[in-house]
């Protein structure tokens, strides 16, 4: 099981409220540095603030792109991504085009994601040789199982680093079943980020056990504070005993 420090490093602390103020963004960054989270995710507008606050720390500045529906044109998404990188973003959570997926226009989805990632890679490598981490949000709550599998295959083959389950704005967020499905499609090496509705340590651990490799949440500090590694070690030992018996 994860130590408390390892557990904290699996957290992306998100602040995506439309009413969030500059002071709240700064506090979010300060908290992330204190806990050593993986990244702070917020809107591109705040990237200059976030990158300044996180400079010199082990927490990465991250921006959401085409949030929350993915319905901007490819050109707009590319411009938004490049601008975010130029303002200091080292991770991008990009929303796949939900309407195109639901319309069965998977060729459009594939071309858009591939072109976007290629453009981001070029831009990222020109910024002090820094490689930008790319997560594609597929908003599982709106998709049928067939659509989920198809879009996961597209993202898997696109060169992205992660698939992410949700923006947190859909009727439901991450589920254990969706994490297992994604992991089954993409295999063991690609990142899988569970996000949307994760507010407790037990929920986070369940997602990690199902195959997630990153947790996105607006309550990262509370989750880490409530995480007691020994509780889950005891559970794991009990499971092993039952399996052996």
Query: Would you please indicate which residues are annotated as catalytic (active-site) residues?
Result: 93, 164, 193
Interatomic CA distance for residues 38 and 32, integer angstroms: 8
* DSSP H helices in the chain: 4-8, 22-35, 47-54, 74-86, 98-102, 106-126, 145-158, 176-186, 201-210, 220-226, 229-244
68, 73, 77, 83 alpha-carbon torsion, rounded to 10°? -120
Interatomic CA distance for residues 58 and 39, integer angstroms: 8
- Which run of H or of E encompasses 194? strand 191-195
The gap between the terminal CA atoms of the chain, to the nearest Å, is 22
| C-alpha to C-alpha distances, 96 to 67, 109, 209, nearest whole angstrom | 9, 7, 26
Spell out the residues 6+ positions from residue 220 whose beta carbon is closer than 8 angstroms to its own.
8, 11, 12, 13, 31, 32, 35, 37
Angle between helices 201-210 and 176-186 (to 10 degrees): 30
């Amino acid at each position: 099981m994860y130590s408390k420090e390892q557990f904290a490093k699996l957290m992306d602390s998100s602040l995506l409220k439309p009413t969030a103020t500059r002071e709240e963004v700064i506090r979010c960054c300060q908290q992330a540095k204190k806990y050593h989270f993986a990244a702070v995710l917020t809107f591109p507008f705040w990237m200059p603030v976030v990158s300044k606050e996180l400079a010199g720390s082990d927490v990465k500045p991250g921006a959401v792109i085409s949030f929350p529906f993915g319905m901007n044109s490819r050109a707009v998404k590319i411009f938004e991504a490049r601008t975010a990188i130029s303002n200091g973003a080292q991770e991008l959570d990009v929303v796949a085009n939900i309407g195109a997926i639901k319309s069965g226009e998977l060729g459009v989805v594939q071309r858009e994601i591939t072109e976007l990632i290629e453009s981001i890679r070029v831009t990222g490598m020109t910024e002090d040789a820094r490689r930008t981490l790319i997560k594609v949000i597929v908003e599982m709550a709106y998709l049928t199982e067939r659509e989920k599998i198809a879009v996961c295959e597209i993202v898997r083959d696109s060169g992205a680093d992660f698939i992410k389950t949700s923006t947190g704005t859909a009727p439901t967020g991450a589920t254990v079943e969706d994490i297992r499905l994604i992991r089954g499609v993409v295999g063991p090496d690609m990142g899988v980020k569970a996000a949307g509705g994760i507010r407790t340590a037990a929920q986070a651990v369940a997602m990690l056990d199902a195959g997630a490799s990153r947790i996105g949440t607006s309550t990262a500090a509370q989750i880490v504070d409530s995480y007691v590694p020994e509780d889950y070690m005891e559970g794991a030992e009990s499971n092993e005993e039952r399996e052996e018996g």
